[in-house]
Structure 1
Amino acid sequence: MIEAELKARVHSPHETLRKLDERAEGRAEVYQDTYYDTADGALEARDEELRVRTVHGPEETRTVLTYKGARVDEESGSKPEHETRVEDAEAVHATLRGLGYVPAIAFEKRCRNYAFEARGRQMLATLVRVPEVEGTFLELETLAEEKDVASALDDVRIVLAELGIRAEDLTRELYTAAVRARRLGEQPRPPQ
């Protein structure tokens, strides 16, 4: 399955939050993300991602291992995604290091997630703050077959508009690149 997703900078977080609260009950979670790569950066060079995410929520802490393949839609950056829940986060980190992967970057995301149905699709809206990155972001995603990605993205755009997000608010800025640039004291480069 493809994660058909668009991300936008949010200029009125309180208004966006109000509109999301009208659609579904939100849940606050903190993500601890560690991205892995080979020592020579082969995954990044192929536009692939390997991530261990530990999610701290109000009722539980869970960890998921995610592999994302190369983009299938250049405009949105949507990628095939394979994810599985793991029982022992430290064992997964040790396994990846044992296989020769190295932590490329780790950071925290503070999220408020909303799951709802819209336009006949299950959608997940995530209001995001990354402490090391200025601003608030909204990610809206739905899963789609590769042949249905364009239609799914059209539906995502419509729902974003309903939430007050304009086309000019959309961004392909990557959190990993923004955090890396911040730590190096540079301006983040736009995605290629």
Structure 2
Amino acid sequence: MIEAELKARVRAPEDTLRRLDEMAEGRAEVYRDTYYDTRDAALEAKDEELRVRTIHGPDETRTLLTYKGARVDEESGSKPEHETRVEDAEAVHAMLRGLGYVPAIAFEKRCRNYSFQARGRHMLATLVRVPELDGTFLELETQTEEKDVAEALDDVREVLAELGIRAEDLTREQYTATVKARRLARAASS
């Protein structure tokens, strides 16, 4: 399956939050993400991602292991995604290190997730703050087959418009790259 997703910088977070609350019940969660790669950054070079995400929610803590393949849509950055829940986060981290992967970057995302139906699709909207970055982001995604990515992204754009997000608010900025750049800049200035 392809994760057809668009991300935007949110200019009016309170307004977007209000609109999302009208669509579905929000769920506050904190993600602790660790991205792995080979020592020579082979996954990054192929536009692939390997991530362990531990999600701390109000009722439970769960961990997901995710592999994302290379982009199938350049404009949105949508990728094939394979994800599974894992029972023991520390065991998965140890396995990946044992296989020769190294942590490339780890950071926290503070999220409010909304799951709802729109345009005949299941959608997941995530309002995101990354403490190391300025601003608020909105990610809106739906799962689809590769042949239907363009149509799915059109549906995502329509829902984003209903949430007050304009085309010029869309971004392909990646948290991993932006956090890395921010950390390098801080290290260089100190």
Same structural fold, with TM-score higher than 0.5 when normalized by the shorter chain: yes
What displacement does 1:58 show?
0.1
* TM-score, normalization by structure 1: 0.96
What displacement does 1:110 show?
0.1
RMSD: 0.6
* Alpha-carbon distance in structure 2 between the residues aligned to 1:32 and 1:91: 16
Q: Which amino acid aligns with 1:116?
A: F
Alignment of 1:163-182 (within 5 A): 163-182=163-182
* TM-score, normalization by structure 2: 0.97
Match of 1:93 in 2: 93
Q: Which amino acid aligns with 1:109?
A: K
Match of 1:161 in 2: 161
Q: Which amino acid aligns with 2:123?
A: M
Match of 1:189 in 2: none
What displacement does 1:75 show?
0.2
Q: Please state whether the residue corresponding to 2:70 is helix, strand or coil.
A: coil
Q: Residues 140-167 of structure 1: CA distance to partner in whole angstroms, max 9, x if unpaired?
A: 0000000000000000000000000000
Match of 2:128 in 1: 128
Q: Which amino acid aligns with 1:74?
A: E
Q: Which amino acid aligns with 2:85?
A: R
Match of 1:45 in 2: 45
Match of 2:23 in 1: 23
Q: Please state whether the residue corresponding to 2:116 is helix, strand or coil.
A: strand
Unaligned runs of 5+ in 1: 187-192
Match of 1:190 in 2: none
Match of 1:142 in 2: 142
What displacement does 1:74 show?
0.2
Q: Which amino acid aligns with 1:105?
A: I
* Alpha-carbon distance in structure 2 between the residues aligned to 1:185 and 1:142: 35
Match of 2:3 in 1: 3
Q: Which amino acid aligns with 1:60?
A: E
* Alpha-carbon distance in structure 2 between the residues aligned to 1:44 and 1:134: 24
What displacement does 1:76 show?
0.1
Q: Residues 61-109 of structure 1: CA distance to partner in whole angstroms, max 9, x if unpaired?
A: 0000000000000000000000000000000000000000000000000
Q: Please state whether the residue corresponding to 1:47 is helix, strand or coil.
A: coil
Match of 2:63 in 1: 63
Match of 2:83 in 1: 83
* Alpha-carbon distance in structure 2 between the residues aligned to 1:87 and 1:152: 32
Identity fraction in percent: 85
Q: Which amino acid aligns with 1:64?
A: L
* Alpha-carbon distance in structure 2 between the residues aligned to 1:135 and 1:179: 13
* Structure 1 outlier segments of 4+, above 6 Å: none
Q: Please state whether the residue corresponding to 2:54 is helix, strand or coil.
A: strand
Match of 1:109 in 2: 109
Match of 1:74 in 2: 74
* Alpha-carbon distance in structure 2 between the residues aligned to 1:143 and 1:107: 25
